[in-house]
Structure 1
Amino acid sequence: MQFASLGSGSRGNATLVRSGDDCVLIDCGFTVKETQRRLARLGVAAEQLAAVLVTHEHSDHLSGVAPLARRYRLPVYMTPGTYKARDLGELPALELIHGYQSFSVGSLDVTPVAVPHDAREPAQFVVQAAGKRLGVLTDLGSITPHVENHYADCDALVLEANHDPGMLAAGPYPVSLKRRVGGPWGHLSNLQTAGFLARLERRRLQHLVVAHISQKNNSLALAQAALTDKISGIARVHYACQDQGFDWLSIE
């Protein structure tokens, strides 16, 4: 199994996961033209996608989903709450995820995971193929026991470290938005991510990708400083960015 990112941050998110000939896109927060350009950088054509999986209705994850699905006749998987939260127009093949039940797209087995986020029915995903587990975990304001249970024993993990609390407090956001981002239904801070990693069983973890780093309320240096003591022993640590995401990583 391999995975890559088209971009990660508040201006657009999309993650590719593939096993053999089966390739899915998790979220699409870019225009069709920009998505095509970013896919091409990773050697993928939109026609090769088997489906789009949607985590929640916020525009940096959803805005490009419906246009891309209509252009390339792609099935779209999302919860009923996410679907009802936005008027997406006609979709060529809508697959509703009821009760966070697992499903398969070709050789990829997908487990949706309920997370605390200020969206109508958000889901993050654990994807399995050929005995390997990839966890994608962004856009949540707190780590619950439910989340910890589902993301144990991953071979690779894409994990949010969205903001530095001090930088968020002193930053340009209005007070209401600061409270939302820093609250239990918002986004993980560097310290919350560090705490999760300290508790995580990491024996199987080949890749850790630190993602969704805010360009206004965080910095790469602050994220690295907060996580340094918690990532020892992890074979490969990567940091996703807004413009390039990250290149293909293979789970061996």
Structure 2
Amino acid sequence: MEDTKTALVTGANKGIGLAIARGLGHLDFTVAVGARDDDRRRAAVADLRSAGIDAFGVSLDVTSDDSVVAAAATIEQTTGRLDVLVNNAGIGGRTDHGAQDPTTLDLDVVRSVLDTNVFGAVRVTNAMLPLLRRAESPRIVNMSSDMGSLTLQTGPQMAAYAPSKTMLNSITAQYARRFVDTNIIINAGCPGYVATDFTGHNALRTPEQGAAIAIQLATLSDDGPRGGFFREDGVIPW
């Protein structure tokens, strides 16, 4: 239907990404499930459809320019526009052998983490902008972490992962400046410490709780905040 909104969630085959996809689907979005792994992507789409959600799979490796361009073409052919983009795909990076200790930092790990967590978000955002600009109230959500807060300095010391989220926050602010006179609203959100593969499922918050901030930012009204960093209970200091 013409008035049905479409949302792309990257890294949507499991964990917080799948929970975001499910939450937006229950709000009557058509959900594009972006994921690299074919089998997991198909399983996620089947799971969403079994819950009555209109979902389709999009082969998407955020570290590949070609894959991102192809994903945009798939969405254009399927729905013709994009109302919401949630840049959720992210990696923690290796931590063995001091790989993320700043005094023994493995720069290959830094490059790998940045390629997914920062460059991936930029690749996807810029490829999807023509589709987002066709929407009435486009929203972009970058899934960050309070580990990237220079004020809070939370969590374990991870000198590749934490700075990647700091840079993602900064690039979010840059996009917001660029979009200031447009209808595109972009923000960064922190899901909190959630039981996922990333945390070894050793956390109290559920993926659904972690997804709440993304859903909130994805459905902001036209006078909502721009270029901010939020969790469910409010603003996170930079």
TM-score, with normalisation over the residues of structure 1?
0.42
Structure showing the higher strand proportion among its residues: 1
Structure showing the higher helix proportion among its residues: 2
